[in-house]
Amino acid sequence: MKKCLCSFVIFSMLTARRNIHHYQKNGLSHIEVWSNKNNRKYHLIDNNLRPVPLLHVFNEKHFEENLLPTQSITYDNGQKMIAPQKINQLIEFLFTEINKKNKEYRDFTILKKSGFVRHKKCGLLILKFKNYPFILKLFMEPPKSFVNPYDKGFEVTNFFIAGGALRHTLGFTRIETLNYVQKAIQKSDKWRSRISLPRKWFWLPKDPVWLHIKTYNLGQKKEDSITMPSIYGVIADELQKDPDKETDYNELMEFSQFLEHRIDPHTKNFFIEKKTGKIALIDTELFPLILGFNEKIDPQNTHIEWYTHLASKYIKEKMGTLKNLRIKRQHDIKHYYLQ
């Protein structure tokens, strides 16, 4: 789905308002960003800015409650343990390698780096621990990079164009959505024994950098603000894929329907787990946020219907929305999936 939207990127980037020198114009939505380590302020003014991804996704209490535990973590069905200090040590050393702009890392294997800009040390880097069954999704955005959502590849650019979603803030939705899925399947006779979910935790560096974001003419207030981590991680269990079995398209769509399409039914988000034969859900990003669905998504029965619906939404947002409606959505904070 994400790739099929790329044909609209050039058009959208040309029509987007990105000149930061006009940020003081009265009535225009814009943001300024700085950190607790550097007071220099960076600005972004853009028609694609929206209040929900910026102001209503990060929840400090939820984040702290789901940080990596201070006690040892079990794995391999409880047969082995790893101390959180060891995990912290491995990731902190990883940062020394990232700061040197290394292409490979001693303790980690790169799984995906398409949204990571190595020479700027920003974006999303997805890695596998080499000696432990865990996955690390590492989010890095200094203020200068945060205000430039167009320099990290087509996928990240599409997120911002489609719904004002920022890759950095989308990561904060992963554990809350996981918790929702866990509760939902426990109430379902059909899905309770059919779905396998990994454990997930947030991770913060020993000396965290905090982004301070101030918004103007965005949401319900003329001015608003939020503070969030500049660097954080999401650590998850590594579930093993059965190479001899494939997921069923219809079953994935049915499961997405069951969750009111909180999860994208794309096959890359699922596989059959080797140990249990269950459907493993590995990506728990809140999907409606990506395409700017503030309202409940109508049930879609097939993958063709699903992607047709998404493409129609994208085209409508970028090519069929009147100026007054574009302005209105920059102030709309109602969101069905974020209560």
Segment 62-100, tens digit of pLDDT: 999 999 999 999 999 899 999 999 999 999 999 999 999
Interval 209-228 mean pLDDT: 96
Interval 220-248 mean pLDDT: 97
Three-state SS at 126: strand
> Which CA distances in Å does 30 have to 21, 25, 52, 242, 244?
11, 9, 14, 47, 50
Contact of 125 with 110, CB cutoff 8 Å? yes
pTM of the model as a whole: 0.90
Q: Which residues, in sequence order, are CB contacts of 197 under 8 Å at separation 6+?
A: 178, 181, 182, 185, 280, 281, 284
Beta strands 279-281 and 195-196, pairing class: parallel
Residue 32 has pLDDT above 80, yes or no: yes
Contacts 24+ apart (CB under 8 A), 312-320: 313/162, 314/5, 314/8, 314/162, 315/8, 317/162, 317/163, 317/291, 317/292, 318/8, 318/11, 318/12, 318/15, 318/161, 318/162, 319/8, 319/11
Q: What percent of the chain has pLDDT over 70?
A: 91
Q: Which tops the pLDDT comparison, 11 or 35?
A: 35
In this prediction, residue 104 carries a pLDDT of 97
How many residues in the chain? Answer: 339
| Average pLDDT of every residue of the chain | 90
Q: Which tops the pLDDT comparison, 27 or 162?
A: 162
Contact of 152 with 131, CB cutoff 8 Å? no
Residue 22 has pLDDT above 60, yes or no: no
- Among residues 281, 237, 273, the alpha carbon closest in space to that of 132 is found at 237
In this prediction, residue 167 carries a pLDDT of 92
Confidence of residue 321 (pLDDT cuts 50, 70, 90): low
Q: Residue 218 is encoded by which pair of tokens? A: 């965005």
Confidence of residue 315 (pLDDT cuts 50, 70, 90): confident
In this prediction, residue 316 carries a pLDDT of 77
Cα–Cα dist 255/284, whole Å: 13
In this prediction, residue 322 carries a pLDDT of 63
In this prediction, residue 17 carries a pLDDT of 42
Q: Residue 82 is encoded by which pair of tokens? A: 């790893």
CA 128, 129, 133, 138 torsion-angle sign:
negative
Give tens-digit pLDDT for 160-181: 988 889 999 999 999 999 999 9
DSSP category for residue 273:
B
How far apart, in Å, do the first and last CA atoms of the chain sit?
Answer: 26
> Which CA distances in Å does 205 have to 139, 141, 175, 234?
11, 13, 18, 12
Cα–Cα dist 95/74, whole Å: 25
